[in-house]
Structure formats: C-alpha cells, structure tokens
Structure 1
Amino acid sequence: MKRFQGMIVVAFVLAGCAGVEIEPISPEQATAAHTANSAINGYIVYEPLVAVEVSKQNVCVEKDSEGKCSEYVSRCSAGAPFVLPDYSKPYRVEIKSGFGKSGAEVSIADGWRLENVKDSSDNTAVLGTLEKILGIETAPVEECKSPGLYRVNLVNGGIELSKLLWY
C-alpha cells in the first residue's frame, strides 16, 4: 500500500512540473540569450508598445453634386494604432513538460509577441477603441508641427502620447 501511495506522490510531482513559465528578464539577458554559452532557455518575447503616426493629411470638407471632393483642408491627425516590440521589456517563455499531457500551448506572433497561452485572446476590441479615440482630427493647420511616431500611454483613465520618433 505504501508503494502505491509513493507512486501517486511521484506522479503528482512530475505532473506539477508541467506548464508554461513566463519570467521577466533584463535586456542584457535577452541579448546574451543568442550566444553559444547562454543559460537562458526558452523563447524571448517582448512587451508590446502601442504606437500611432501623427502626420499632415488632406481631408475632404466639401463635395460637389457628383460626390467628388471639391475642397480639401490639411489637418494634423493620428492614424490607426499599431504595435511594436518594447525592447526594454523582454520576457523568457519556457514550456515545461511533465508526466502525461500538459496541455500547454504557446503562440508567438510576428517573431516577438506572445499571442496566447493555452487560450485564444482577442485584443482587437481594445485596438479598435484606441483607433476611434486617436483617429479624431484636430483643427485645420498649415503644417503639422509635430509629425512622427508616438507611444500611446494609458494614464489616469485617459490617453497620453509620448514622442518615439519625430520626422
């Protein structure tokens, strides 16, 4: 009887080792992971950074009787949001197998972004909301004074843009 109980304990210990381990690492560790003597196991993924492009765009403000635009106005506006890797925030993802089936499934998109772990998550609603909020055009201007790429930061229930690259 004790032998049977011991086998059950061993089985649970081995099964407990199965799963997915996600751990934040430093940018230096992520860079060193590609060397021959690296102690880092698993995949390296990065936290997504939501960005928008702000640029001067011509917008139709009046159409003629045929539906063609007869008057344009230049405006500084934000485009649709997109994601980039934040290289300052890497993570190590390691799949550990144990006794029997672990059921761990990891999907990595674009070669850097952890898309899902054992389930299908859909973030398109969040991106769609950001697109609606950031797609609002500002008042007409002669020139777009600050065209470039901006990081989208969620701050105190609102959205703030911080400069990534101006051009």
Structure 2
Amino acid sequence: MQTLNDEVKNLYGGNVRVRVSGIYIVQDQVLLVNHSLYGKEQPFWSPPGGGILFGETAVEALTREVREETGLEAEIGDFLFVNEHVRPPLHAIELFFGIKSVRGKISKGADPEISPANQIIEDVQFLRLEEIRSFPPGAYHSIFSRVQSLEELFRLDKFLSQLETLI
C-alpha cells in the first residue's frame, strides 16, 4: 500500500480541494511535473497545477502554479474539462485548461506550501504518451488512461470522475 507524504496529508487530506491544471503540448509531447506524493521512489507525473488561493481567479492560479512548478510563464487558453479525483485521504476538483504558449526556460520548481525538507517536485519534462504509459499504474494522472493521443485531451468530456480506493 502506498503511504502519502505526511506533510501533504496534513496540508490537503480530509478536505475537498479545488485545483487548476494546464495542458501544454509541443511536438507530440506534454509538459509534466513529477511529484513524489508517496515517496521519492514512487513518482507521480501530472500536468502542472495546484490549488486556487482565496481571491485568485482560476487563470491567475494556473499562471502562478505553472511558474512555481516549471519556471515558465504561461499564456492560459480555453477551459477544457473538470476532473474529480477521490483517493482518500485526498479529494480534488480539478479544472483543466489548455495552455496556449509559454516563455522562459524550463526548470524544476518548488511547492511554497511545503517545507524545503519535504519538497515533492522531483522533475519537470516533456513526455510522449507512450513514455507516460510505460510507467507503472498509478505513476501518472488518470487523464492519460482516457485518451489514445495527447490531442484527445482537448476533446474529453466536460466532467470526469475517478474514485480510487487504497488496497
């Protein structure tokens, strides 16, 4: 059984969290961030994103999160879909947007809510769908299991729900 990072569990567990995430595709590769939510030996690759702060719009939050996680300045595009992720103790409503363009140099960022000793961002890369699917189950965001090509991410149903139970 996977054990969630204690600091992540204390910050986000037991509450419904509203998150934003961005899909940015270049030359059949998507921008992803590797989070060590369950320990450094268990990667979790997902599009850049994070929680919306009080008083922030979804677009402002996504712009900030992309900068914090990847070092890139993003121009946010259209709203794509909502994904509900329930994997106790985490529960998130994720608003996905397309990213039109980015400026700057890609770099591994940091999560300001998490202490320096417990940082969970391990890497930032552009990956092809085949590369993503070569990872073990649970090592990448569930949206990549719903598509046959990265372009299909822009045509998913407007509401996706995923309930996972830990065994």
Q: TM-score, normalised by structure 2?
A: 0.23
Instruction: Give the greater-gyration-radius structure (CA).
Output: 1
TM-score relative to the length of structure 1: 0.23
